[in-house]
Amino acid sequence: MIIAGVLWLVAVVCVAVFVARAWSLRPLKVTGRGKLVRSGVDAVVALALVRALTPPPGPVVWLWVTAAVAVGVGVAGVIVHWRTAPPDGRRWPTVVYVLVGLALVVVLA
Residue 75 CB burial class (10 angstroms; 0-12, 13-18, ≥19): middle
Q: What is the dihedral angle through the alpha carbons of 19, 71, 101, 52, rounded to the nearest 10 degrees?
A: 130
Q: pLDDT tens, position by position, for the chain (109 residues)?
A: 788 889 999 999 999 999 999 988 777 777 888 889 999 999 999 999 999 998 888 888 899 999 999 999 999 999 998 888 888 887 888 899 999 999 999 998 7
Domain segments of the chain as ranges:
2-108
Query: Which pLDDT score is estimated for 37?
Result: 92
Query: Which pLDDT score is estimated for 48?
Result: 93
Query: Which pLDDT score is estimated for 103?
Result: 94
